[in-house]
Amino acid sequence: MNWNKQNPYLAKITSKKLLSGKQSNKEVFHYEISLGDSGIIYQPGDSLGIFPVNNNTLVRAIINRLQVNPTYIPEGYDFNIHELLEKKFEILTPTNRLIKFVNDNINHNVLNHSLASKNIDILMDFKYGKDVLDFMNLDENLKFDVLHFLTLLKPLQHRAYSITSSNLIFKNSVHITVSTQRWHRKTRDYGGVCSTFLSDICKLGDKVKIFLIPNKLFRLPDDQNKPIIMIGPGTGVAPFLSFIQERKNLKSNGKNWLFFGAQTKKNDFIYEDQILNFVEEKILNNFDTAFSRDQEKKIYVQDKINERSDEFFQWLKNGAIIYVCGDAHKMAKDVEFTIIKLISKELKCDHEKALEYLKMLKKEKRYLLDVY
Ligand SMILES: Cc1cc2nc3c(=O)[nH]c(=O)nc-3n(C[C@H](O)[C@H](O)[C@H](O)COP(=O)(O)OP(=O)(O)OC[C@H]3O[C@@H](n4cnc5c(N)ncnc54)[C@H](O)[C@@H]3O)c2cc1C
Ligand SMILES: NC(=O)c1ccc[n+]([C@@H]2O[C@H](COP(=O)([O-])OP(=O)(O)OC[C@H]3O[C@@H](n4cnc5c(N)ncnc54)[C@H](OP(=O)(O)O)[C@@H]3O)[C@@H](O)[C@H]2O)c1
């Protein structure tokens, strides 16, 4: 059977472990999912697609706001409104269509001004942390026609998670590392759809809809002798556990270097035992950590790269491939900037020449990103 986004496999959750400590600002879970009789085979670097189900409290609050019976089946649909809002539509993040509809039909100074200004930052500021229900409630007198309301929503999408396991070792399961997204605003608690579906709703033995998202652009080299440098703060470390497990299993001779960053050593050093075992077994030849909040001044992975610039560049001269995984918005950009500066320092060249060197690494597929 060919399992894919259109035809996901119903897979059982066989393990669920909280990785972050009690005093962490984060909530990070390790999930193991059985591949059963699916025949799914994955490679290090691939991701897993998961279809979530929406939070029931939010579904009921929206149905309440729509003033409709949960069993009501809107014309043209095969499911009642409760089922539609639970399984078929994104009901957390508002679409531009929904925001425009609300804006066009209410007098709300800040929203009206935000949209009229055509300044994306002002609108982003206004939107920040607000969900569909918040926009519906900007004016309690605003009426919603159910059929029209559904046209203002997007279909519920899957979420992608980097695979944390090697299929060579875990022949019949796939592992992922998920940071639960939670925030609070005024009187309400909010949660990311899929991360809280996994953490709050799914229990051991429950089944979830999954499919494989191959990523040919984030692969280990075929050459087992090639050195690799992995930069993965936070959940960005996920694919690198798969990489190291795979290289250990293949008895690869290529050297492995991991840069890991987290807020605190005590509460956020996820997979500490597994990683330290790799160091002890000399599978991981170099391992650098940046615990940002364990001292007054923040230390990030790029500071650790800077500290070891000579050796880092030596690895590059020896043909190393650089992999970066995790936050796209800031971390990946700052790391790239640091690497450009490092090249410039080591080659004693200007910024332009260093950029050319990075371009060459990209062309040779030796600078690979999996950022989100
Ligand atoms: C290729 C790829 C690999 C990935 N791998 C991983 C991985 O290994 N581990 C992992 O955890 N994630 C990973 N992600 C991210 C993951 O796919 C989801 O985006 C993430 O789990 C959030 O999804 P969600 O459904 O929980 O939240 P959503 O329902 O999608 O909501 C997220 C939105 O909530 C809002 N939000 C979140 N936090 C706050 C806050 N504090 N304040 C205000 N608003 C907030 C933001 O608008 C944000 O865009 C990956 C993404 C990609 C594309
Ligand atoms: N697309 C999504 O929906 C989604 C899903 C999951 C995560 N994310 C984003 O991805 C990021 C990482 O999330 P995470 O929970 O995996 O990691 P995290 O635990 O938030 O961060 C890991 C480490 O990276 C540090 N860091 C912060 N900014 C950095 C920078 N510019 N350069 C280098 N390191 C930096 C953090 O330090 P400090 O915190 O002390 O500054 C922390 O020590 C978050 O910003 C989150 O918003 C997005």
pLDDT score at 315: 98
For the chain, what percent of residues have pLDDT higher than 90?
Answer: 98
**Ligand 2 atom 28, closest CA:** 331
Class of domain 9-52+158-213: mainly beta
Q: Is the pLDDT of residue 178 over 90?
A: yes
- CB count, 10 Å around CB of 364? 10
**6-33 pLDDT, tens per residue?**
999 999 999 999 999 999 999 999 999 9
Q: Is the pLDDT of residue 221 over 90?
A: yes
Q: Are the CB atoms for 288 and 260 separated by under 8 Å?
A: yes
Domain with CATH 1.20.990 in the chain: 56-151
Q: Is the pLDDT of residue 1 over 90?
A: no
Banded model confidence at residue 118, pLDDT cuts 50, 70, 90: confident
Please report, in angstroms and rounded to a whole number, the separation of the first and last CA atoms in the chain.
Answer: 30
Cα–Cα distance measured from residue 320 to residue 343, given in angstroms and rounded to the nearest whole number: 14
**183-219 pLDDT, tens per residue?**
999 999 999 999 999 999 999 999 999 999 999 999 9
**Ligand 1 atom 43, closest CA:** 129
Domain with CATH 3.40.50.80 in the chain: 228-371
Q: Is the pLDDT of residue 134 over 90?
A: yes
Banded model confidence at residue 105, pLDDT cuts 50, 70, 90: very high
Q: How far is the CA of 307 from the centre of ligand 2 (A)?
A: 21
Q: How far is the CA of 304 from the centre of ligand 2 (A)?
A: 16
CATH architecture of 56-151: Up-down Bundle (1.20)
Give the torsion sign (CA, 258, 262, 267, 271).
negative
Mean pLDDT throughout 129-146?
97
Domain 228-371 has CATH 3.10.290.10: no
Q: How far is the CA of 187 from the centre of ligand 1 (A)?
A: 22
Q: Is the pLDDT of residue 55 over 90?
A: yes
